[in-house]
């Protein structure tokens, strides 16, 4: 990736992960946002995630891959997910500041959320980086696509989706947000829809190889589901 594209990506991801939460909270009270150490750590994590997205994620994440293998209806899921992220990153800080729709809990629950968020981030990055150039935001296959069954995929078939669910849940707990828990549920349903389409596509492409792989692994929860 060129330096120019990396910088543009950094600005885009930085806006989503850093600027929107601060705007949601209110830029007139940045000291109040940082007054809670968990929110401060989360902001630093957003900076780190922006750098990883910009420089280390596979280069063709927005590619359509092989046109006749592209599941076009999943582009709807992609745009819905982006909308949910924007709502989540702006609404949850706002509610936290104004004590709206909050989980009645001690500050310790925020730390639990931070741990869950961290685990989710690891899985959500590990899968795509391990897939390399075969990974795309769009549901598609690449030229000479191979079925990857090692790394995180030796434990579960969809490590990125597990990661996304966990880090959205973690963010919800970081902000002690009931609205965030609702968004987590919606996002889980959207990802279940994507998993359904993705597994059908891989079954058609890899046949018995995919069937055997499914018999040896779980979808998103090791040893359970």
Q: What is the pLDDT of residue 59?
A: 66
How far apart are the C-alpha atoms of 191 and 168, rounded to whole Å? 12
pLDDT of residue 2: 66
**Which of 131, 125, 119 is closest to 49 using CA atoms?**
125
User: Between these two residues, 59 and 52, which has the higher pLDDT value?
Assistant: 52
- Architecture of the domain whose range is 64-216: Up-down Bundle (1.20)
- Residue 60: the pLDDT is 65
> Percent of the chain scored above 90 by pLDDT?
73
User: Rounded distance, CA 119 to CA 164, Å?
Assistant: 10
Mean pLDDT of the chain: 92
Q: What is the pLDDT of residue 58?
A: 65
pLDDT at residue 43 above 60? yes
pLDDT at 9: 76
Residue 217 neighbours by CB distance under 10 Å = 16
**Per-residue model confidence (pLDDT) at position 165:** 97
Model confidence at 200: pLDDT above 80:
yes
pLDDT of residue 55: 80
- How far is residue 17's CA from residue 12's CA, in Å, rounded to a whole number? 9
Q: What is the pLDDT of residues 54-98, one digit of tens each?
A: 787 766 676 788 888 999 999 999 899 989 999 999 999 999 999
Identify any residues that bridge with 102 across adjacent strands, giving them in sequence order.
177
| Domain spans of the chain, in order of start | 64-216
pLDDT, tens only, 130-176: 998 899 889 999 988 999 999 999 999 999 999 999 999 999 999 99
């Amino acid at each position: 990736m060129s330096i120019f594209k990396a910088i543009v990506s950094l600005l885009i991801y930085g806006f989503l992960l850093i600027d929107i939460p601060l705007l949601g909270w209110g830029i007139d009270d940045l000291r109040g946002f940082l007054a809670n150490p968990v929110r401060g750590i989360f902001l630093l994590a957003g900076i780190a995630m922006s750098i990883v997205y910009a420089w280390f994620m596979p280069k063709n994440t927005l590619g359509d891959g092989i046109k006749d293998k592209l599941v076009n209806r999943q582009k709807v899921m992609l745009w819905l997910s982006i909308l949910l992220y924007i709502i989540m990153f702006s609404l949850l800080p706002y509610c936290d500041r104004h004590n709206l729709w909050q989980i009645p809990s001690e500050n310790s629950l925020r730390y639990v959320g931070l741990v869950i968020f961290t685990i989710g981030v690891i899985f959500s990055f590990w899968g795509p980086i391990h897939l390399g150039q075969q990974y795309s935001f769009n549901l598609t296959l690449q030229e000479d696509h191979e079925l990857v069954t090692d790394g995180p995929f030796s434990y579960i078939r969809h490590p990125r989706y597990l990661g996304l669910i966990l880090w959205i849940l973690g963010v919800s707990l970081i902000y002690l947000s009931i609205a965030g828990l609702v968004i987590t549920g919606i996002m889980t349903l959207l990802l279940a829809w994507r998993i359904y389409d993705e597994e059908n596509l891989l079954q058609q492409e890899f046949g018995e190889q995919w069937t055997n792989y499914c018999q040896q692994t779980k979808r998103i929860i090791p040893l359970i589901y």
